[in-house]
Structure 1
Amino acid sequence: MRAVRYHGREDIRVDDIPEPVCGSGQVKIKPAFVGICGSDLHEYMGGPHAVPQSPHPITGEKLPTTLGHEFSGVIEEVGVDVTDLKVGDKVAVKPNLSDGSAGGLSDHIVVDRKHAILLPESMPLDIGALIEPLSVAWHAVNRSPLQKGDTALVVGAGPIGLAIVQVLRARDIETIIVVEVSKRRREFAATFGASHVLNPIDVDAVSEIRSITGDVKGVAIAFECSGVQAGLDTAMAGTRVRGTTVILSLWEKKPVLDAFAVVLGEKHIAGAVVYEEGDFEGVIWAIESGKLQPRSMITSTILMEEIVEKGFKALIHEKDNHIKILVDISA
């Protein structure tokens, strides 16, 4: 079968590998749509989070490894002891742990039953591929002490920052301030429900945030999604006394934190990565209820054989024009 595999820095190939066999307690899935994630780009460019050459101490993962962890598909076989899913069911896959032997960017994949999350029959499979990245945002908002009526700041309007905006709007947050240097991404943020969009090159973002929030001089919750020092500084300075900053971004170098400001402002810092039990289901419910309407996140759909030129290179050289590029494997 075909599989998109990462062999090393800027070396991604469509290989022919053996088709996996469905075992007891497992399901075999035909992937339909697969999203390209920021972590995939880090690997492609050989960043600090790239897959190691030696086997991972927990998963045994080593190169080459099949890519694709944001995906939907249709069950084509169920293993012994699986009684609550059937052939033909639509699923999204929750990829909490992988051994690298298979990923969503392949013609077939086998996963343990617990990783296959049933999708409503009415949900299109391309929308199903957005469940995973939206669950990252859903989890990050859950990690914060967000309350009804709070004000929120999102620094960095890449795919995850824009997902945060949507989740905040789904939680009925009215004041959502986005700070982003890219004009196109600021437009995306406004489309997805940001109440205020600031360009930190043109304005003093922190002063503007304090003006918008009035007497409290800062937002209740900030979400740092930029991965750059200036973004972290804005998030921290943009929160009010005893406010919380949730950091989601992957950092290429260790940032500097102003501990003095944290102490004087009695501020809180939290980290958020991936998701936990209930997050996928929460996102599915929000989409079905109409609180999340993420279709506009899909800015391009390509074929497996186009993944380098129209996928990875497009996200590197035309990143401001894209939120989520999906690979269509449904044919």
Structure 2
Amino acid sequence: MRAASLTQGRLEVVDLPVPRPGAGQLLLEVKRCGICGSDLHCRLHADQLADVLDLCGYPRYVRYDQTVVLGHEIFGEVVDHGPWSVGAIKAGTPVVSIPLVRRGRQVDGVGLSTFAPGGYAEHVVVQEALTLPVPNGLPADLAVLTEPMAVAWHAVNRGEVTRKDVAIVLGCGPVGLAVISVLKARGVGTVIAGDYSAGRRSLAGKCGADVVVDPAVESPWESASAGHGFMTTMPDEYNAGIDAVEGLARLPVPWWTAWRALEAVGRTRPHRPVVFECVGVPGVVDGILAGAPLHSRVVVVGVCMGPDTFRPSLAVNKELDLRFVVGYTPLEFRDTLHALADGTLDASHLVTGRVGLGGVAAAFTTLAEPEVHAKILIDPSLDADRILPQ
């Protein structure tokens, strides 16, 4: 089979044997595979990621000097079943799969380890238990987005966002656009997006962002604070506390009794936005801590590849809630697929191009320029080396 192989930062098309599914696994014919930001990072920064994952107990992440077939955002059709598989998903069924395979108790990430070749190929092996049939005739170019959209689905869940919240999405690459799409699918009334790229700002608007700003010109924090009652300085909060005590002291009960009653019904809970960091470069987290209103909940979705620093005293004095996210649960993956299939989640604006295996290297180069493309899909059946517009 043909595959796009990565070695020491160089991508080339090679001929490889068709992989054989092991126990409890399936062989898929790849119909689409998305190019993920993790793949772009892996091309040049694999060792940094491998060092981190080694500390997390996974020493088998691909390294720069190893050869790997990337690709973990996979849509395909079932070709064959491995031994001891359940066989409930018949040959020819269109499917998506959580990109993990297991041999014994050893689990590897598909497309991110030399032990689990990925979907930049004509065929790929996936875990049967983690594979789902695609419902409602969902088109290939949307079904393949299940995996990246599930990442956004999980991030929004971790943010505990309600419909009444103000959500701020900083960075409108594929991850940020996916988060915006999920937020709007959940009915969040106010989504503010910020990016320096005019092209990405345009896509953010198409994905449903209510306010889109260029941070070089306009502060997303000012847009968020206008009319929403967020505390932006410590004296604001101190004054509000003094005002509250003075007001409650006029009641015929002790002010602390009245305060406890208000607290029990949530009236003393501070208003705050939920901020999604989807940039992943050094300095962004510290900038958010400095600019965000008091009590903001910050969800870090972007992956900063190198060391970074921030000032904890900013988060302490503003009492910020800082959360980090990775991946998704099997249920979130399933729910994302069905939200795409029933139309409640619209991801149609994310895909901007398609390419064959021979054009993967060109696609990586193109994706380094944010004004041109957001998400490029690999279609192994295409013979074209150039990127075809969506």
- Provide TM-score, normalisation by structure 1: 0.91
In structure 1, the partner of 2:103 is none
Letter in 2 for 1:264: N
Q: What SS does the aligned partner of 1:6 have?
A: strand
In structure 1, the partner of 2:151 is 136
Alignment of 1:247-266 (within 5 A): 247-266=300-319
- Cα distance, 1:39 vs. partner? 1.3
In structure 2, the partner of 1:87 is 91
204 and 240 in structure 1: CA distance in 2 versus 1, 3 angstrom threshold: closer
103 and 212 in structure 1: CA distance in 2 versus 1, 3 angstrom threshold: farther
Task: Give yes or no for the alignment of 1:313 onto 2:365.
Answer: yes
In structure 2, the partner of 1:322 is 373
Task: Give yes or no for the alignment of 1:271 onto 2:317.
Answer: no
Letter in 1 for 2:67: P
In structure 2, the partner of 1:183 is 198
Structure 2 CA distance, aligned partners of 1:116 and 1:26? 9
23 and 245 in structure 1: CA distance in 2 versus 1, 3 angstrom threshold: same
- Cα distance, 1:314 vs. partner? 1.0
Task: Give yes or no for the alignment of 1:68 onto 2:121.
Answer: no
Let me know the Cα RMSD of the aligned residues.
Answer: 2.3
Contact 1:222 1:236 in 2 (8 A): no
Structure 2 CA distance, aligned partners of 1:144 and 1:135? 14
Deviates more, 1:215-224 or 1:245-254: 215-224
Contact 2:48 2:306 in 1 (8 A): no
In structure 2, the partner of 1:2 is 2
- Cα distance, 1:87 vs. partner? 0.5
Letter in 2 for 1:18: P
Structure 2 CA distance, aligned partners of 1:229 and 1:155? 14
Structure 2 CA distance, aligned partners of 1:21 and 1:107? 13
* Structure 2 unaligned spans of 5+: 101-107, 233-270, 383-390
Q: How many residues were matched structurally?
A: 326
Letter in 2 for 1:115: L
Alignment of 1:276-295 (within 5 A): 276-295=329-348
In structure 1, the partner of 2:21 is 22
Q: What SS does the aligned partner of 1:281 have?
A: helix
- Cα distance, 1:176 vs. partner? 0.5
Structure 1 CA distance, aligned partners of 2:319 and 2:278? 22
Identity %, equivalent residues = 30
Letter in 1 for 2:361: V
Structure 2 CA distance, aligned partners of 1:288 and 1:156? 26
Contact 1:119 1:284 in 2 (8 A): yes
Give per-residue Cα distances to partners, 1:211-250, cap 9 Å, x unaligned. Answer: 2534555742100011234532443345443321010111
Alignment of 1:141-152 (within 5 A): 141-152=156-167
Looking at CA atoms only, which structure, 1 or 2, has the larger radius of gyration? 2
Give per-residue Cα distances to partners, 1:92-148, cap 9 Å, x unaligned. Answer: 121143342421111111222123222115111221111111111111111112123
Deviates more, 1:233-242 or 1:126-135: 233-242
Contact 2:272 2:295 in 1 (8 A): no
- Provide TM-score, normalisation by structure 2: 0.78
Give per-residue Cα distances to partners, 1:47-85, cap 9 Å, x unaligned. Answer: 654668xx9964375510111111100001123332321
Contact 1:153 1:235 in 2 (8 A): no
In structure 2, the partner of 1:203 is 218
* Structure 1 unaligned spans of 5+: none
Structure 2 CA distance, aligned partners of 1:230 and 1:257? 7
Contact 1:33 1:330 in 2 (8 A): no
Q: What SS does the aligned partner of 2:228 have?
A: helix
Contact 1:3 1:14 in 2 (8 A): yes
Letter in 2 for 1:21: R
154 and 263 in structure 1: CA distance in 2 versus 1, 3 angstrom threshold: same
- Cα distance, 1:46 vs. partner? 3.9
Structure 1 CA distance, aligned partners of 2:207 and 2:371? 16
